[in-house]
Structure 1
Amino acid sequence: MQPASNTEVISESSLKGKTLMLPFVLICSLFFLWGMVHNLDGILIPHLKKACQLNNRQSTLVDTSIFLAYFLMAVPAGMLLKRFGYKNSIIIGLVLATIGAALFVPSANALAYTGFLGALFIIGCGIAILETAANPYSAILGDPAGATTRLNIAAFFNGIAAMVGPFVGTKLILSGTDYSEVQLKAMSVTQRSAYFLHEASSVKMPYTVLAIALALVAILFFVAKLPEIKASTKEETSGGNFFGALKHKHLSWAVVAQFFYVGAQVCVTSFFIRMAKQGAGFDEIKAGYYLAMYGFLFMGGRFVGTIFLQFIKSHKLLSIYAVVAALLCAVAILGKGSYVVYCLGAIGFFMSIMFPTIFALGIDGIGDDTKPGSSWLIMSIVGGAVVPYLMATVIDLNGDNIQIGYIIPLICFIVILYFGVSGYKIKKSIA
């Protein structure tokens, strides 16, 4: 698939003390793009809930569609990575994500919720391939001693998207108009249909721009000369195996921790706007901008966390952040007023380093099992499909009480704490 002139195979052992800057910059752009996709979901969920008249569980099918794709694509993505390498896998992922984003236009025109879900599923398939390739590629794209730092620097661009995505989504998607059930019933069928269609149509421009951006980056990757890094140690040349990778006990625990981390993050962002409206009395637009504040704190957490990682062992920092995030969840559950929303914003700060840190700890020392191990860690992102639906069920069963639902992410942070304290340790392979 890839022209020979654009392929350079280099040994991992030759990377000691080096960083490959151009490939790393391109990889950082991927972290930003899939960050935009995920952070538009926090706007998309309450917006489509209104436009398509959904309950909480139905609205979280937005999360289910995109994160289920991660689960289903994990094995194929790993196979693509082993067969075609990092560069071609990334291009395939970008093309799929481009197609999915473009499908938002006909879905909005038809006011078809199933169309939106299908488009999100295709985007999720593309991003699953991107993450399967880009996370390990950024980790090995230079001196092995700097793997965790590189992952966190790349993830910092994901943090920028956490701020930009909600701001753009609030500006371009949310209308600020939210009719009550009584007001809707007072409208004629034609008026209601026009209102719902108008609400749905606001997603067309941002997702069209996203599709164009994804396509342009795919072209950049196609023309760029990127290295294919070859494993060089004895352990790494033994050949990776998908199920055999789980013989590394710390990888198995990382998969569990990543499942609950992604579930917690998606829960916080998916219900953020509804929590701000219900718990603090904010209107839709103000709530959307506060979600951007969450993104700013998430980005700041990535920056500060990257600095802290120079002085604090990654598993210790992960444990500290998990404790604080759990405590903030407890305050959000029990508190009243606008400071509840500030607590949710602060949770973003302390969640910021969790994904890349869990990922780096999980693939640490697993040699040629890095690629299948990465597939397991990407597959665990299915937590974003399962956990928010569980939270929505708790909310629906408690009279649409959003606050009580935050007990679910609290439990998730306790699981992450265990990984940071014990599960991360590299032990003898499971027999």
Structure 2
Amino acid sequence: MPVTPTRTHPAAASPYGAALAMLASLFFIWGFITVINGTLLPHLRSVFDLSYTQTTLIESVWFIAYFVASIPSAKLIEHIGYQKSLVTGLLIMAAGAVGMMLAASIPSYGVTLAMLFVIASGITLLQVAANPYVAVIGPPETSSSRLNLVQAFNSLGTVLAPLFGAYLILGRSVGGTAEHGTVLTQAERLADAQSVILPYGLVAVVLVLLAVAIGRFHFPEMGEATKRHTKEERRGHSLWRHRNLVFGVPAIFIYLIAEIGVANLFVNFVAQPQIANLTTEQAGRYLTLMWLGMMVGRFAGAFVMQRIAAETVLAAFSIGAFVVMLMTVFLDGPVAMWSLILVGFFHSIMFPTIFTLGIRGLGPLTEEGSGLLIMAIAGGALVVVQGWLADLYGLQWSFLLTAACELYVLFYALWGCKVTGTEPVKATAAE
């Protein structure tokens, strides 16, 4: 079994501990807001009387923003730098949160879609800047460990968000506390739509405060992480030489189909009479356990990858995810529910590990490669395919798509992530 040398904790051994802690707050907030969006789906399905296809279209709009905004985000970073880009991303998200309050007061399905796109665009800017920042700090062989550690705080946000959403959105609405299959009156739908005003108002305030904190923080010199490479430096280098990136981009894309499909259909799945027969408010609380498993998995992954090669751990977790998804599809009752909860643990390390394996050895192409990997998050938009499968064949059978996605991640871990070309890397001062 491939192993890496035992090292001290990556954050503790680095002179950038304070900067990593500040960046961890960004990972927390975008994890929190992304899952609030997932909690919002059953609520909006009730308010606007949507089919599963229409419900997952909301999530598709969210992830289309990653595809649309990734390259402009990279260009913005080139012009104003990383720190100002982080502040800008937070303020864009705050503007979107205020827009969600407007959409709720109308209420309007179209405005809701537009504001979710704005929020996701802000998160995209944060992702393009922050992920490579963390990955290049410290020894390359422990980059997966570092990113898993910081992504664990992203998972902390995803653990707390369903509680926040279940109490302030689902718990304060008629649709969120009604029995499965209850049909709401028009007046009840209008009242339910306005229940998101308070939570999104709180989110907007927190985002503005965090933007101020990031803007005033003194980030140390970060070397290659903040270097904005010129065209001359990239001349003669090709991203297509790097198998780990070429197969890593679809790995991120396909993995996001699996993660987002599970997260956004979880509440509707476990609420079904043949699974757990819960209200959506109760199901939202169980969703917290899935995100808790993801957080635990990332903390564990950060530790294990100090000793075992990242690709080996990724292969083991993808096999585990495939097995529990088959259990979800072919079993009923509490076993199916707990199998779906357990997939959160197995999904935990996939994004940060694929990301760091994907940029390994890119040298001056790291920024371009990072942008492509973040763009691949748009794979979450194809959750609409699972919504279509759920409408056509049933919600439980639609999770076969998720199981198929796990097999591609296994392929990437076993073969696709192998480095086929290494670009020279030189230390540079931060701009």
What TM-score does the superposition give when structure 2 sets the normalisation length? 0.89
Alpha-carbon shift at residue 143 of structure 1 (Å): 4.3
From 98, 116, 121, the counterpart of 1:125:
121
From 141, 155, 161, the counterpart of 1:159:
155
Residue identity opposite 1:392 in structure 2: G
Q: Identical aligned pairs, as a percentage? A: 33
User: Which residue is equivalent to 1:10?
Assistant: none
The answer for unaligned runs of 5 or more in structure 1 is 1-14, 185-191
Worse overlay, 244-253 or 321-330: 244-253
- For residues 238 and 195 of structure 2, the distance between their equivalents in structure 1, rounded to whole angstroms, comes to 47
Alpha-carbon shift at residue 182 of structure 1 (Å): 7.7
Alpha-carbon shift at residue 254 of structure 1 (Å): 0.8
- Does the 8 Å CA contact 1:42/1:272 hold for their aligned counterparts? no
User: Which residue is equivalent to 2:79?
Assistant: 83
User: Which residue is equivalent to 1:364?
Assistant: 360
- Does the 8 Å CA contact 2:71/2:371 hold for their aligned counterparts? yes
From 337, 347, 350, the counterpart of 1:354:
350
User: Which residue is equivalent to 2:7?
Assistant: none
Q: How does 1:8-407 map to 2 (within 5 A)?
A: 18-174=14-170, 175=173, 176-178=176-178, 183-184=183-184, 192-231=185-224, 239-240=233-234, 244-278=238-272, 279-386=275-382, 388-398=383-393, 401-407=394-400
- For residues 294 and 415 of structure 1, the distance between their equivalents in structure 2, rounded to whole angstroms, comes to 22
- For residues 71 and 23 of structure 2, the distance between their equivalents in structure 1, rounded to whole angstroms, comes to 21
Please give the per-residue CA displacement for 1:31-75, whole angstroms capped at 9, x wherever unaligned: 000101111122111110001110011111221121101000111
- For residues 143 and 27 of structure 1, the distance between their equivalents in structure 2, rounded to whole angstroms, comes to 18
- For residues 422 and 149 of structure 2, the distance between their equivalents in structure 1, rounded to whole angstroms, comes to 30
Residue identity opposite 2:251 in structure 1: A
Task: Rate the CA distance shift 1:335–1:98 in 2: closer, same or farther, 3 A.
Answer: same
Task: Rate the CA distance shift 1:195–1:240 in 2: closer, same or farther, 3 A.
Answer: farther
Secondary structure of the structure 2 residue equivalent to 1:231 = helix
The answer for unaligned runs of 5 or more in structure 2 is 1-10, 424-431
- For residues 97 and 71 of structure 2, the distance between their equivalents in structure 1, rounded to whole angstroms, comes to 23
RMSD over equivalenced CA pairs, Å: 2.2
- Does the 8 Å CA contact 1:250/1:424 hold for their aligned counterparts? yes
Alpha-carbon shift at residue 247 of structure 1 (Å): 3.3
User: Which residue is equivalent to 1:8?
Assistant: none
User: Which residue is equivalent to 1:417?
Assistant: 410
Task: Rate the CA distance shift 1:428–1:304 in 2: closer, same or farther, 3 A.
Answer: closer
- For residues 102 and 424 of structure 1, the distance between their equivalents in structure 2, rounded to whole angstroms, comes to 41
Residue identity opposite 2:270 in structure 1: A
Task: Rate the CA distance shift 1:131–1:197 in 2: closer, same or farther, 3 A.
Answer: same
Aligned residue pairs, count: 402
Please give the per-residue CA displacement for 1:222-278, whole angstroms capped at 9, x wherever unaligned: 11111353439xxx886348x943432211111010001111100001100011011
- Does the 8 Å CA contact 2:52/2:388 hold for their aligned counterparts? yes
Please give the per-residue CA displacement for 1:170-203, whole angstroms capped at 9, x wherever unaligned: 111113333777854xxxxxxx232011111111
Please give the per-residue CA displacement for 1:316-369, whole angstroms capped at 9, x wherever unaligned: 100110011011000000001012110011000010011100000001110111
- For residues 313 and 290 of structure 1, the distance between their equivalents in structure 2, rounded to whole angstroms, comes to 32
Task: Rate the CA distance shift 1:67–1:96 in 2: closer, same or farther, 3 A.
Answer: same
- For residues 231 and 274 of structure 1, the distance between their equivalents in structure 2, rounded to whole angstroms, comes to 45
Secondary structure of the structure 1 residue equivalent to 2:333 = coil
Residue identity opposite 1:195 in structure 2: E
Residue identity opposite 2:417 in structure 1: Y
- Does the 8 Å CA contact 2:28/2:156 hold for their aligned counterparts? yes
- For residues 285 and 330 of structure 1, the distance between their equivalents in structure 2, rounded to whole angstroms, comes to 26
Task: Rate the CA distance shift 1:181–1:323 in 2: closer, same or farther, 3 A.
Answer: closer
- For residues 365 and 40 of structure 2, the distance between their equivalents in structure 1, rounded to whole angstroms, comes to 37
- Does the 8 Å CA contact 1:322/1:413 hold for their aligned counterparts? yes
- For residues 183 and 141 of structure 2, the distance between their equivalents in structure 1, rounded to whole angstroms, comes to 61
Secondary structure of the structure 2 residue equivalent to 1:60 = helix
User: Which residue is equivalent to 1:187?
Assistant: none
Residue identity opposite 2:292 in structure 1: F
- Does the 8 Å CA contact 1:24/1:141 hold for their aligned counterparts? no
- Does the 8 Å CA contact 2:42/2:280 hold for their aligned counterparts? no
- For residues 214 and 247 of structure 1, the distance between their equivalents in structure 2, rounded to whole angstroms, comes to 40
Alpha-carbon shift at residue 293 of structure 1 (Å): 1.0
- Does the 8 Å CA contact 1:82/1:371 hold for their aligned counterparts? no
Alpha-carbon shift at residue 141 of structure 1 (Å): 3.2
- Does the 8 Å CA contact 1:35/1:161 hold for their aligned counterparts? yes
Please give the per-residue CA displacement for 1:276-304, whole angstroms capped at 9, x wherever unaligned: 01122122222111001111111111111
Alpha-carbon shift at residue 146 of structure 1 (Å): 3.4
